């Protein structure tokens, strides 16, 4: 980057930080060294002000855009915006969610049988797909991260690449329901409902996941 472009960038950042945190705005005829000093000062201010938020992941939008009453979710639509497109289809039977970095099997019924919770854990752990052998049963928050609460049947984001979404029964999560430790949480793909069921029940589906790259852009 040339020195002139660097100075323009610094001035823009100083102006932006000034608006956010206060301070004096650089004038058109101000010298480069003075502008850089202001930039350094504002850098310290920004660092101090934002320090409590380092590492904060934030909360995603739910996907609901229809409002049913003033001040509801569809009206305010609070949360972090989803990237477009959200999903990356790797062409090998796997899909990565750019929001979470999680890699899912493209076929949501890759493991065909409905099983109890213990067998679901084992089936995911035993899966080898696309050269990866670290598949597992997702926890309940990972399952819910896929849900679009503005969609129905299935409650997944529009344009998702997944196939064979099972609607008849929920999907197991690896999360136990405390204090009901004989039960585990499951997520239904019809409307994103989260419920607990006995771990010995043999009527729920499996959707394996693994940790991929944090972001794919």
Residue 107: count other Cβ atoms within 10 Å of its Cβ.
Answer: 18
State which residues form the domain around 180: 84-211
Q: For residue 149, what is the domain's CATH number? A: 3.10.100
In a shared domain, residues 99 and 28:
no
Q: Is the pLDDT of residue 88 over 80?
A: yes
CA distance 136 to 189: 19
Q: Percent of the chain at pLDDT above 70?
A: 76
On whether residue 78 sits in a domain, the answer given is no
The two structure tokens encoding residue 45:
């201010």
Statement to judge: residues 40 and 101 lie in one domain: no
Same domain, 103 and 41: no
How does DSSP assign 154-200, residue by residue?
Answer: S-S-TT---B----SS-EEEEEE-SS-TTEEEEE-TTT--EEEEETT
Phi first, then psi: give them for residue 122, nearest 5 degrees. Answer: -65, -40
pTM for this predicted structure:
0.75
Q: How high does pLDDT run on average in the chain?
A: 86
| 168 in a structural domain | yes
Number of folded domains that form the chain: 2
Inside any domain, residue 43? yes
Q: Which residues contact 9 (CB under 8 A, 6 or more apart)?
A: 1
- Structural domain includes residue 115: yes
119: in domain: yes
Instruction: Match 């043999």 to its residue by tokens.
Output: 202
Query: What is the structure's pLDDT at 26?
Result: 56
> Mean pLDDT: which of 28-32, 41-45, 175-179 is highest?
175-179
- What mean pLDDT comes out for the span 126-137? 97
Instruction: Give 95-125 pLDDT, tens digit per residue.
Output: 999 999 999 999 999 998 899 999 999 999 9
Q: 10 lies in a domain?
A: yes
Q: Looking at the predicted structure, is the pLDDT value of residue 151 above 70?
A: yes
Distance, in Å, from the CA atom of 65 to the CA atom of 165, rounded to the nearest integer, reads 23
Residues with Cβ < 8 Å from 204, sequence gap 6 or more? 114, 115, 116, 117, 120, 169, 170, 171, 172, 186, 197
Are 216 and 98 in contact by the 8 Å Cβ rule? The answer is: yes
29 and 134 fall within a common domain: no
User: Is residue 140 in a domain?
Assistant: yes
Instruction: Say yes or no: 149 and 206 in one domain.
Output: yes
Q: Does 199 reside within a domain?
A: yes
pLDDT of residue 33: 74
């Amino acid at each position: 980057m040339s020195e002139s472009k660097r100075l323009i960038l610094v001035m823009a950042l100083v102006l932006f930080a000034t608006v956010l945190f206060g301070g004096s705005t650089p004038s058109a005829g101000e010298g480069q060294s003075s502008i850089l000093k202001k930039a350094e000062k504002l850098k310290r201010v920004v660092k101090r002000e934002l320090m409590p938020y380092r590492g904060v992941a934030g909360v995603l939008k739910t996907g609901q855009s229809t409002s049913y009453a003033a001040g509801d979710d569809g009206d305010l639509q609070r949360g972090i915006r989803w990237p477009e497109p959200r999903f990356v289809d790797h062409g090998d039977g796997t899909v990565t969610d750019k929001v979470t970095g999680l890699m899912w099997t493209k076929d949501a019924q890759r493991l065909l049988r409905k099983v109890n919770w213990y067998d679901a854990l084992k089936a995911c752990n035993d899966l080898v797909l696309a050269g990866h052998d670290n598949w597992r049963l997702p926890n309940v928050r990972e399952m819910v991260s896929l849900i679009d609460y503005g969609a129905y049947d299935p409650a997944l984001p529009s344009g998702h690449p997944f196939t064979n979404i099972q609607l008849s029964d929920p999907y197991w999560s690896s999360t136990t329901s405390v204090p009901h430790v004989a039960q585990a949480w499951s997520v239904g793909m019809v409307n994103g409902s989260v419920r607990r069921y006995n771990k010995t029940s043999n009527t729920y589906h499996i959707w394996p996941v693994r940790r991929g790259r944090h972001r794919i852009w």
